[in-house]
């Protein structure tokens, strides 16, 4: 069953009581980027990505009881056995996609919608798929309320991607499969990038960048060790 909802224009940040916390989070992310530069090859992130982190109200994407922890640089639970990723990882994965303002991006694993919101700030169109239908509904409503018209959400099996909207300039996966889903590579444009955590649940996982050459060839490189919830599939 597919749930498709068209949302509104990117969120315009305003005073919400968390301005200082957001600014401190961005500074902490910048510091961590510098610390991990030898592993990632990225001593600095795209200023557009950092600006997006400074605009998106992360406290809106976590349960109200832990809103006070929203700008800490670590993952947080969002229910249904899922988490919202560490801000540093959100920023790094977004930066690794290297997308411009006209790009069409596919996200697998909407969760609460935070990563989709960050993508919505830096890309032209975002299509995001969540297998847990209650999370998909909640994320769609949240993103709509916050004003992200350039994000489209649906409930479904992310392994299949979103063929009706393909091809994509970039694909980002926010949960870890044990192999690269072939459909996601197939739906990439030549010259596009797929960024995903790869590995067994509870075992070693690596953040990977998969690049599709203009001739259709595929190359992979490992960025750094990570830990994500597993990417689940429909039975």
C-alpha span between 84 and 90 (Å, rounded): 9
C-alpha span between 37 and 213 (Å, rounded): 25
- Alpha carbon of 55 to those of 11, 86, 90, 167: distances in Å? 8, 16, 14, 28
112 has catalytic annotation:
no
C-alpha span between 64 and 69 (Å, rounded): 10
From the candidates 85, 112, 206, 217, give the one annotated as an active-site residue: 85
Question: Which residues have a catalytic role annotated?
Answer: 85
């Amino acid at each position: 069953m597919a749930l498709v909802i068209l949302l509104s224009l990117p969120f315009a940040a305003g005073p919400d009581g968390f301005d200082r916390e957001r600014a401190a989070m961005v500074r902490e992310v910048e510091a961590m980027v510098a610390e991990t530069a030898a592993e990632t090859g990225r001593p600095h992130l795209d200023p557009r990505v950092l600006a997006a982190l400074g605009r998106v109200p992360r406290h809106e994407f976590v349960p109200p009881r832990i809103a006070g922890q929203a700008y800490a640089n670590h993952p947080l639970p969002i229910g249904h056995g899922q988490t919202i990723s560490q801000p540093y990882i959100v920023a790094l994965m977004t930066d690794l996609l290297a997308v411009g303002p006209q790009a069409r991006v596919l996200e697998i694993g909407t969760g609460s919608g935070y990563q989709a919101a960050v993508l919505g700030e830096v890309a032209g169109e975002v299509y995001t798929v969540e297998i847990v239908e209650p999370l998909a509904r909640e994320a769609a409503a949240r993103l709509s309320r916050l004003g992200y018209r350039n994000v489209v959400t649906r409930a479904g099996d992310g392994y299949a991607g979103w063929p009706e909207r393909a091809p994509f300039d970039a694909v980002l996966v926010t949960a870890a499969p044990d192999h690269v889903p072939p459909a996601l590579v197939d739906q990439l444009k030549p010259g596009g990038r797929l960024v995903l955590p790869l590995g067994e649940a509870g075992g070693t996982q690596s953040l990977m960048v998969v690049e599709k050459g203009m001739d259709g060839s595929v190359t992979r490189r490992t960025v750094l060790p990570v830990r994500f919830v597993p990417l689940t599939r429909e039975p």
